[in-house]
Amino acid sequence: MNNKAERLKNAKPMPQAEVDASLAHRLPPGQTVTERFPILHEGEVPVYSLPDWRLRIFGEVEKELEFSLEQLKEMKQTEQVCDIHCVTRWSKFDTKWEGVLFKDLLPLLGVKPEGRYVMIHADNDYETNVPLEDLMRDDILLAFKFDGQPLTPKHGFPLRLIVPHLYFWKSAKWITGIEFMKEDRPGFWERNGFHNVADPFREERFSGEDLGLPEDLWKECDYD
């Protein structure tokens, strides 16, 4: 698992698929569009006791906090439609999500001025880093629903982050904590060969040398 980027070395990259000219500007370099929703993750799908589930807020905050799922669902809900892009070279257009905007949650958290970086913690000991500035965009969601239905376990139930302007590994499934930090530090994949920023339109897939991806990697996984 820790050598995923290394295992992808020397693989033949998939050529970019042709798309309608009116949609071409939405497809990052090296991606292909799929109508289905590939399911990729490391480790087993977690099982939860929802009454015990909590989202922990910690780090550079005035006071550590915890939110139950019901507390989050009582907050203002926002629906958005966005394109998503996976580092394994698939893109899905016009995905519909519903949840709490990160920027709507932030005023409740008591973040100190020096807390300019964020680490998202999730189950299976996963974590991924995103600058706070990125999370303040109008399309960053803590999502409960996809396509009008509650998230399925394989897609991150009960709560996942949606960061559509970055490769989808930044949109962590099964999130359990939000840590505010003075300084940036790499998350799980960022420590294991993946790019720290992950802008798909700049093809920021990997750190160091450019690594190829097998053309059939995402095609052979599960789908919704």
Residue spans of the domains in the chain: they are 4-223
For the residues 89-113, what does the mean pLDDT come to?
97
Question: pLDDT band at residue 210, thresholds of 50, 70 and 90?
Answer: low
β-partners of residue 96 are 81
Looking at residue 5, its pLDDT comes to: 58
Prediction pTM value: 0.88
Q: State yes or no: pLDDT of 218 exceeds 90.
A: no
CATH of domain 4-223: 3.90.420.10
Which phi-psi region, left, alpha or beta, contains residue 137 (left: φ > 0; alpha: ψ -120 to 50)? beta
Cα gap 119→98, rounded to integer Å: 22
Q: Which amino acid is at 9?
A: K
pLDDT 10s digits, 46-59: 999 999 999 999 99
Cis previous bond, 46, omega within 30: no
CA–CA separation, 171 and 143 (whole Å): 10
pLDDT tens digit sequence for 103-158: 999 999 999 999 999 999 999 999 999 999 999 999 999 999 999 999 999 999 99
Confidence of residue 8 (pLDDT cuts 50, 70, 90): very low
Distance (Å, whole) CA 167 – CA 86: 5
